[in-house]
């Protein structure tokens, strides 16, 4: 569970806070999407939850240590997919052989069976991001903070990864905070979509989505809600 | 067969290049611009090499010099690697030591030869001191640059994986800095080898075994230009040997493992 109450972040001497008194509660096992235009403080919000950034005011409580996943999968280029995942197990007191088999199991789980020995440069962008997800799960964290993880991928790969992420989330009881500027992605994934506005960064609106998974990104439901949220987003950006 | 063929493909440019040099050289000799006592012909230099071989000096000199150079280089790596890591990762150490390293890197290590001889005499200590003073700053400095160039995302990822301290250095920092470090090693070897040749030329007596520098000195003392050119050829051959047998495969391994282009 994540609890933020009135978290405010100011960068240096800037007059307008990057996050202005943001309060939110994310329950255990929830999948929350955060949308907003560039520079609205989405990433800062994630960094605050991750503990990478301390708020100037307000309180942050996070129950379990989170794993962060960024647009850049940041894999280690000199290690194979298996070694990348196994490295996340370095402090679990496991033997090398156990680390390897656990890494293989996690790679199978993200659909990379047979690619264990490949190096990052031999994998596609989507596969690399899968390794990053397996690595994050290997840390034993049940809380994933994802910062536009799929925005560098092509649309079809992204759709596939959306389905897989939802499956992982359900099977492992993960809690996911998913930051994106893509409204359709936010609607396809989240049980809740939070809309952030910039200058100062704050949460301006929230939608609860009861639609069952997996959601078809081209369905009327997703389209309708996407239109609605995009209109609200536009209003925040342009001010009309 | 294909292995042989790829060997031929790899060696051909080198053979053509050397062939061109020797041809131009021979043409200059034929033009009789200078007497052969000043510009000897390729055949005369080959004869001098043959003489060194039959005297048993050729291999022993090469071995003595290479052995000293490689040993000094390995010592330099042992000193420079922890030093470079400390400078790169510990802020106070960086602010004090980095300027010293940069200054030393500018200084030709041959400048230390007279001082070394006074301190240690013409012993192998002098030779190794000169090699270290030449190679350590350049290896350490390149390692520092290599660490500085690691993308912040990689370091953040390491932090998220709970890696810290020695384990972080061993598993992430050093491998991530490897391409830059490798460049530093190659440069360090060049410095080590140059320093050694200078030291052998200046301090060619004493308890030091006979190296390639001694062939050059002997050539100078007897005004034997063929012998001196033979010595230069041997020094060149040693450099090529280390590059082709040592650095080239190492570089290929490091770069191809990372999906970087191999030149």
**Is residue B244 domain-shared with residue B216, that is, in the same domain?**
yes
Query: Are A119 and B157 within 8 A, CB to CB?
Result: no
ipTM: 0.77
Average pLDDT over chain A, rounded to an integer: 88
**Is residue B162 domain-shared with residue B198, that is, in the same domain?**
yes
Asked whether the predicted pLDDT for residue A122 surpasses 80, the reply is yes
Determine contact: B257 vs chain A, CB below 8 A.
yes
B161 CB neighbours in chain A (<8 A) are 87-88, 90, 135, 139
Segments making up each domain of chain A, as ranges: 2-66+142-238, 77-140
- Sequential pLDDT tens for chain B (263 residues): 577 888 888 788 888 999 999 999 999 999 988 888 889 999 999 999 999 999 888 998 999 899 999 999 999 999 999 999 999 999 899 999 999 999 998 888 888 888 988 998 888 888 899 999 999 999 999 999 999 999 988 888 898 888 888 889 999 999 999 988 999 999 999 999 988 888 888 876 655 668 898 889 889 999 999 999 999 999 999 988 898 888 988 988 888 888 886 65
Query: Is the distance from CB of A107 to CB of A115 less than 8 angstroms?
Result: yes
Domain count within chain B:
2
Whether residue B62 is contained in a domain is answered as yes
pLDDT tens-digit readout, A3-36: 888 888 888 878 888 888 888 999 999 999 999 8
The full length of chain B comes to 263
CA distance B193 to chain A (A): 30
Q: Which residue in A has a C-alpha nearest to residue B157's C-alpha?
A: A74
**Is residue B128 domain-shared with residue B183, that is, in the same domain?**
yes
**DSSP assignment string, B195-236:** HHHHHHHHS-STTPPP-HHHHHHHHHHTT-HHHHHHHHHHHH
Whether residue B59 is contained in a domain is answered as yes
CA distance B156 to chain A (A): 9
CA distance B158 to chain A (A): 9
- Closest-CA residue to B47 (of B60, B34, B62, B58): B58
Whether residue B36 is contained in a domain is answered as no
Whether residue B263 is contained in a domain is answered as no
CATH code given to domain A2-66+142-238 = 3.40.50.300
Q: Which residue in B has a C-alpha nearest to residue A67's C-alpha?
A: B160
**Is residue B124 domain-shared with residue B14, that is, in the same domain?**
no
Of the candidates B153, B171, B178, the beta carbon closest to that of A70 is on B153
Neighbours of B200 (CB within 10 A): 26
B151 CB neighbours in chain A (<8 A) are 74
**Is residue B100 domain-shared with residue B18, that is, in the same domain?**
no
**Is residue B5 domain-shared with residue B117, that is, in the same domain?**
no
Whether residue B163 is contained in a domain is answered as yes
User: Partners of A60 in the beta sheet?
Assistant: A4
pLDDT at B157: 87
Query: What separation, in Å, do the N-terminal and C-terminal C-alpha atoms of chain A show?
Result: 36
**Is residue B67 domain-shared with residue B90, that is, in the same domain?**
yes
Query: Are A74 and B151 within 8 A, CB to CB?
Result: yes
Chain B 116-175, residues with CB within 8 Å of chain A CB atoms: 151, 153-154, 156-157, 160-163, 167, 171-172, 175
**Is residue B19 domain-shared with residue B147, that is, in the same domain?**
no
**Is residue B252 domain-shared with residue B196, that is, in the same domain?**
yes
A49 CB neighbours in chain B (<8 A) are none
Whether residue B121 is contained in a domain is answered as yes
pLDDT at A11: 85
Whether residue B151 is contained in a domain is answered as yes
Query: Are A139 and B172 within 8 A, CB to CB?
Result: no
Whether residue B194 is contained in a domain is answered as yes
Q: Which domain range does residue B23 map to?
A: 1-31
| Chain mean position to CA B58 | 20
**Is residue B203 domain-shared with residue B80, that is, in the same domain?**
yes
**Is residue B22 domain-shared with residue B139, that is, in the same domain?**
no
Asked whether the predicted pLDDT for residue A50 surpasses 70, the reply is yes
Q: What is the CATH number of the domain that holds B161?
A: 1.10.3720.10
Query: Are B257 and A119 within 8 A, CB to CB?
Result: yes
**Is residue B71 domain-shared with residue B18, that is, in the same domain?**
no
Asked whether the predicted pLDDT for residue A188 surpasses 60, the reply is yes
Query: Is the distance from CB of A45 to CB of A22 less than 8 angstroms?
Result: yes
Kindly state the average pLDDT of the residues A187-206: 89
């Amino acid at each position: 569970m994540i609890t933020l109450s009135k978290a405010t972040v100011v960068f240096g001497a800037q007059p307008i806070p990057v996050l202005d008194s943001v309060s939110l509660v994310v329950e255990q096992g929830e999948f929350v999407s955060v949308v907003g235009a560039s520079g609205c403080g989405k990433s800062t919000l994630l960094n605050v939850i991750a503990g990478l950034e301390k708020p100037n005011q307000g309180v942050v409580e996070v129950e379990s240590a989170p794993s962060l996943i960024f647009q850049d999968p940041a894999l280690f280029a000199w290690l194979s997919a298996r070694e990348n995942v196994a490295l996340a197990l370095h402090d679990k007191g496991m033997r090398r052989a156990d680390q390897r088999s656990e890494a293989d199991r996690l790679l199978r789980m993200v659909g990379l069976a047979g690619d264990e020995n490949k190096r990052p440069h031999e994998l596609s962008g989507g596969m690399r991001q899968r390794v990053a997800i397996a690595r994050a799960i290997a840390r034993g964290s049940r809380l994933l903070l994802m910062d536009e993880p799929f925005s560098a991928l092509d649309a079809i790969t992204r759709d596939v990864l959306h389905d897989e992420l939802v499956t992982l989330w359900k099977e492992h009881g993960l809690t996911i905070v998913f930051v994106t500027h893509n409204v359709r992605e936010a609607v396809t994934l989240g049980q809740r979509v939070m809309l952030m506005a910039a200058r100062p960064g704050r949460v301006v609106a929230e939608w609860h989505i009861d639609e069952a998974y997996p959601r078809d990104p081209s369905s009327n439901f997703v389209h309708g809600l996407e239109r609605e949220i995009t209109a609200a987003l536009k209003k925040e950006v342009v001010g009309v | 067969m294909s292995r042989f063929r790829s060997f031929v493909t790899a060696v051909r440019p080198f053979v053509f290049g050397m062939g061109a040099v020797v041809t131009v050289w021979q043409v200059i000799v034929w033009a009789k611009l200078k007497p052969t006592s000043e510009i000897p012909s390729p055949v005369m230099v080959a004869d001098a090499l043959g003489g060194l071989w039959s005297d048993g000096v050729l291999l022993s000199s090469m071995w003595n010099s290479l052995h000293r150079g490689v040993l000094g280089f390995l010592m330099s790596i042992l000193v420079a690697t922890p030093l470079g890591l400390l400078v790169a990762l510990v802020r106070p150490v960086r602010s004090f030591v980095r300027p010293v390293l940069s200054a030393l890197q500018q200084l030709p290590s041959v400048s230390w030869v007279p001082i070394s001889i006074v301190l240690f005499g013409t012993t192998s200590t002098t030779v190794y001191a000169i090699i270290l003073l030449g190679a350590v700053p350049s290896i350490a400095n390149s390692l520092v640059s290599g660490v500085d160039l690691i993308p912040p995302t990689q370091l953040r990822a390491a932090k998220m994986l709970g890696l810290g301290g020695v384990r972080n250095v061993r598993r992430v920092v050093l491998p991530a800095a490897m391409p830059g470090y490798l460049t530093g090693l190659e440069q360090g070897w060049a410095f080590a080898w140059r320093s050694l040749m200078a030291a052998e030329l200046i301090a060619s007596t004493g308890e030091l075994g006979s190296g390639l520098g001694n062939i050059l000195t002997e050539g100078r003392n007897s005004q034997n230009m063929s012998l001196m050119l033979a010595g230069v050829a041997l020094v060149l051959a040693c450099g090529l040997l280390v590059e082709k047998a040592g650095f080239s495969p190492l570089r290929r391994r490091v770069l191809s493992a990372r999906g970087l282009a191999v030149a």
